Structure 1
Amino acid sequence: MWVIENRQYLGEVDSWSRAEQFGDGVFETLLVSDGVARALSLHAKRLEHGLRCLKIPPPVENLQHMLSGYVDNMVESSGLRNGVLKVMVSRAKSARGYAYDAQAEPCIVVFFSSYQAPKNEFYEQGINVQICSTQCSIQQQLAGLKHLNRLENVLAKSELHSDCFEGLMGNYLGFVVEGTMSNVFFEKGDVLYTPELSLSGVAGIMRSLIMAYCRRKGIALHITHIKMDALPQFDSAFVCNSVMGLLPIKKIKDKPMAIGKLTRQLQMAIRSGEIYA
């Protein structure tokens, strides 16, 4: 096939990136702190799970060792000891069409960049969150995966008002799913609630760490379907991901939220590193 890219004629090629053609792959985004990647084993396990679900052969047998090697290489090459590592693994390049060679070796692209954390006041006072009109598709085969098809998140992110740091996305059934770049938890009394992700959404690494912490500490946690119109019943809420950590929510749409005791406890566990134990 013959290719023109950005008005430049490239001539004849045998194949092209399936990540670019179809979003055919998965990715991991790791926080690197003082030269060490946080929650490395969990990222490796999720990467392995995603590749298996998409029937993409793993590029190496030991994915954790692969990720660790990329961290070391990028830290040494860039001179940065703190930043964000993004690793994309996509199905092997192919010509036009959805068919693929199941045995072909996948493609890997790695980015490493500096990271500017959210403002301190967001961690202490909380953030404003709006409800996005863009919905998460329901697709059980892809639910939970951090796959490369992120158009819904891109569109939802573009909706955010200037005074809102994050937006919540639901599905057509009216259930809360996730934030545009985060998972969400709600607090009521001494109980935490987080959306069940069997229909759609990304099963985030920080979400997994918080769930494990709750089990260790005996904190009641309900993983369940939560209706958008039920949000006013909760006392407090927060969003989280593996890069920014945990941000309390001070307002969802027009409803003010308090910052709960469990929210503060989890913040402290993340800051101290206890959450990673």
Structure 2
Amino acid sequence: MLNLFWADEAGLPANDRGLAYGDGLFETIRMEGRQGVLLSRHINRLVRDAARLGITVSGSELKSVCARAADRLSGGGDGAGWILKLTLTRGGGGRGYRPDSAMVPNLMVSGTSPPPQTDPAGVVADFSRVPLTVNPLFAGIKSLNRLEQVMAARELDDRLFEVIMSNSAGHLVEGTRTNLLVKVRDRWVTPPGASLAVAGIMREWVLERLRERGEHVEERPLTTDDILGPDCRGLFLLNSVLGVVPVRTLADHDLPVETGLATIFNPFELLE
């Protein structure tokens, strides 16, 4: 059971725990008309990660909401691109941190225009000065607690598309809104899922496709030398809304732009 709210009517109630404590999760889904890119994976992740937080929601409920959202927000056009956001919180009420087990989850639904397409020749990025701390209990969960990413995103300007955040060990972890994938000689390297603040849907899908093709994929700590060293063949930023984005310049260093990865990604083949 869910309390459903539409962002174009009214926001969440003032006593919502997502507003008070960040007690919830969200999904951002690239839509084309009534269909979504990897929609079932987004729904499954939301159900799975909500269960990790002790918030009960079913996939059938979310699928029904997505269908209603498409009717309401897509503008009626089957070919119009837009972005669907689902914000799920534990619910409202209660005093203090301890939640009431009888709370009914709140779900807020919104639709926005898609971001502009990225330059296929690559984007410009830099290293962030904001460290990223990942609590192992919440690793990979797309929770509402994103203050570190907010502070890192303040470093962005009109020149920079993304900044890359490091953990306390100095390993590169992810961008403010993207996961990292690097071609190092004849293999692909990405930080392990347990080190990530958000384990992205696009990351999951791309790694599966590379392994299906027989490519060598390593999940291990990623260093600056992996990207700026002589063995780097390309750096990609992965995001389910933006897709697969090559980086041509990082911290004023020119990077090679590997084109092979583009051959496995076509968002129109991933619509559900």
TM-superposed deviation, 1:185: 0.6
- Structure 2 residue ranges without an equivalent (≥5): 1-12
After TM superposition, the structure 1 = structure 2 runs for residues 53-132 of structure 1, keeping only pairs within 5 Å, are: 53-58=52-57, 60=58, 62-63=60-61, 65-75=63-73, 78-79=75-76, 81-119=80-118, 122-123=119-120, 125-132=121-128
User: 1:152 maps to what in 2?
Assistant: 148
TM-superposed deviation, 1:240: 1.5
Contact 1:35 1:75 in 2 (8 A): no
Distance change (3 Å), C-alpha of 1:15 and 1:156: closer
Query: Which of residues 159, 166, 191 is equivalent to 1:163?
Result: 159
Q: Does 1:265 align with 2:227?
A: no
TM-superposed deviation, 1:197: 2.7
User: 2:172 maps to what in 1?
Assistant: 176
Q: Secondary structure at the match of 1:239?
A: strand
Distance change (3 Å), C-alpha of 1:61 and 1:271: closer
User: 1:10 maps to what in 2?
Assistant: none
Distance change (3 Å), C-alpha of 1:232 and 1:85: same
TM-superposed deviation, 1:273: 4.5
* Counterpart amino acid of residue 268 in structure 1: T
Contact 2:123 2:248 in 1 (8 A): yes
TM-superposed deviation, 1:61: 5.3
TM-score normalised over the length of structure 1: 0.85
Give the Cα separation in 1 of the matches to 2:125 and 2:25: 27
* Counterpart amino acid of residue 252 in structure 1: L
User: 1:218 maps to what in 2?
Assistant: 214
Contact 2:234 2:255 in 1 (8 A): yes
Contact 1:213 1:275 in 2 (8 A): no
Q: Secondary structure at the match of 1:62?
A: helix
User: 2:30 maps to what in 1?
Assistant: 31
User: 2:253 maps to what in 1?
Assistant: 255
Q: Secondary structure at the match of 2:43?
A: helix
Q: Secondary structure at the match of 2:115?
A: coil
Distance change (3 Å), C-alpha of 1:201 and 1:21: same
User: 1:41 maps to what in 2?
Assistant: 40
Aligned residues: 256
Contact 1:26 1:88 in 2 (8 A): yes
Distance change (3 Å), C-alpha of 1:38 and 1:71: farther
Distance change (3 Å), C-alpha of 1:274 and 1:188: farther
Distance change (3 Å), C-alpha of 1:269 and 1:117: farther
Q: Does 1:51 align with 2:50?
A: yes
Contact 2:174 2:196 in 1 (8 A): no
Q: Does 1:240 align with 2:238?
A: yes
Distance change (3 Å), C-alpha of 1:70 and 1:275: closer
TM-score normalised over the length of structure 2: 0.87
TM-superposed deviation, 1:84: 0.2
Give the Cα separation in 2 of the matches to 1:201 and 1:88: 17
* Counterpart amino acid of residue 239 in structure 2: N
User: 1:143 maps to what in 2?
Assistant: 139
Contact 2:69 2:109 in 1 (8 A): no
Give the Cα separation in 2 of the matches to 1:202 and 1:112: 22
Give the Cα separation in 1 of the matches to 2:83 and 2:271: 17
Give the Cα separation in 2 of the matches to 1:236 and 1:230: 10
TM-superposed deviation, 1:256: 1.1
Give the Cα separation in 1 of the matches to 2:171 and 2:61: 34
